[in-house]
Every structure is written in C-alpha cells, then in structure tokens.
Structure 1
Amino acid sequence: MREDQAGVLNQLLSSLDAIPEEIIALTAYGVGALIALWCWWRLMRRLPTTFGAISWLVVFAILLTPTVSEGPNASVAPAIFGLLFGVLTKDSPLIWSNLSLILFVVGLGLVIGYCWSKYSTNKSMRSI
C-alpha cells in the first residue's frame, strides 16, 4: 500500500473513532433494513396489490419494530431479535412482549392502510 493511501485510510479510521458505536450500528441496520424493504417491495409489485401491501407491512414490522434490550449495554434493538432470543431461551414473557409489539405494528399498519384505501377511493370518486 502506498504511503498516501495509508494516510487516507488512517484519517478515515480516526474520524470513525469519534462517532459512537451505537450510532454506527443503528445507521448500518437502518440502511440494511431500507435495502431489504426496497427489494421486498420490488418483488411484491408483481403480486395483487392487497397481498403485496400486507406482506410488505409484515416484513416492515418484523424488521423495524423497536424494543429495549436488557443487560449492561441495553439499547434500542429490533423486536425480532428479542423474539428469537426468547424462543431460544424459552422465556415466555420475552416472547409475548416482543410478539405483541410486532403484532401491534402490523395491526396499526393495517388500520392505517384501510383508512388510506378508503380515502383514496373517496378521492377518486369525487374527481369523476
């Protein structure tokens, strides 16, 4: 590696040291979730609208529903990780708390989607 390239790499790594680890982790997870949702949306466009929207909503809820992790380094984490950890450790309260959060997001999304479809239907009726 050339000296000027090593200097640029060292400068980049030293600037990343100033950013807290939690911010880097949340940013990486958020960007990865957005990429996954975009790919899922591209796949679901070929299906009927209702099924595609509901499946996109379920994937959104699984990937992005937040919960608080436990332990000395507790922070915000996706509820699916808590759900999987609860299943692996057979901890029923952990399973139900994380599953209820995910199902709440799915239910809220379904209600919002229903209201949006009624609004867009009424809007198109008025314009005709």
Structure 2
Amino acid sequence: MNGYVTVLDSIPEETIAVLVYLIGSAIALWCWYGVTKRLPKPAGGFLWILGFAVLLTPTVSEGPNASLAPAIFGLLFGVLTKEQDLIWINASLILFVIGIASLVGYCWSTYVTNKAKTAVNTVKKNTSPL
C-alpha cells in the first residue's frame, strides 16, 4: 500500500484533479446516455449534448492561482456573486459548445440517414428482376 501512495505523491495534484474530473465526467455522461437513449432521437440527443456542454465546457478561473475549470462553476460563481461579466462569459461558452455540438449532431444524423437510404436503394436495385 505504501508503494501506491508514493506513486501518487510523485504526480502533481493538478494532474490528479483533472484526471479524476475527466473520468468522473465520462462515467456521468455514460450513465446519462443510458437515460437519454430511451427518449425520442432529437430530444435524447439534445439532452445528451446539454449534459456534455455543462460538464465539459472549459474556462479559465480567475485569481492568483488561475487554472482550467469547468464553465458551469464559473457561471454558478458569477450568479452567486452577481458578477454579470462572469455570467455572460461562461454562459456564452456553454452555449457555443451546445451550438457546435448540435451542428455536428445534425451533420452526423444527416450522414447516417443518407447512408441508410443509399444502402436500401442499392439493395432494391440489386434485387429487382430485369
């Protein structure tokens, strides 16, 4: 057990914190996917994108020890301190990620739909009597 503790002592705390946060976010998004896949396609996909954006949109925290932080924490801190600039910056970052992810999701959905239609048309062409 002492060997494991010495290994953790050699890794910087910030690296451990980011790693734990990313693994925890991946687990949370995996569980959230289990919930949203049972919903209709557009609603489930958008709710998954919303969860992704809330959990994983990055921002830079303020102060003397500024570092990378989730934008939702900056947004909540801005709401609690009633600092309008902080609210708008972090909300716009989250909305930007939602917009980009929605655009990528729409393109992917269109691609998959067209690919399925092409496959069906190819099967119909190959099976039609001449």
Q: Select 1:17's aligned residue among 2, 9, 33.
A: 9
**RMSD of the TM alignment (CA)?**
0.8
> For residues 16-64 of structure 1, what are the alpha-carbon distances to aligned partners after superposition, in whole Å with 9 as ceiling and x for unaligned?
1110011100000001101110111111121111111100000000000
Rg larger in structure:
2
Matches within 5 A, 1:3-82: 9-82=1-74
Q: Structure 1 regions of 5+ residues with no counterpart?
A: 1-8
> What fraction of aligned residue pairs are identical, expressed as a percent?
59
What TM-score do the two structures reach when normalised by structure 1?
0.90
Tell me how far apart the structure 1 counterparts of residues 113 and 2 of structure 2 sit (CA, whole Å).
57
Runs of 4+ in structure 1 over 2 Å off: none
Tell me how far apart the structure 1 counterparts of residues 112 and 37 of structure 2 sit (CA, whole Å).
19
Alignment: residue pair count? 120
Q: Structure 2 regions of 5+ residues with no counterpart?
A: 121-130
Mean CA deviation greater in 81-90 or 41-50: 41-50
What TM-score do the two structures reach when normalised by structure 2?
0.89
Q: Select 1:91's aligned residue among 76, 83, 86.
A: 83
Tell me how far apart the structure 2 counterparts of residues 41 and 31 of structure 1 sit (CA, whole Å).
15
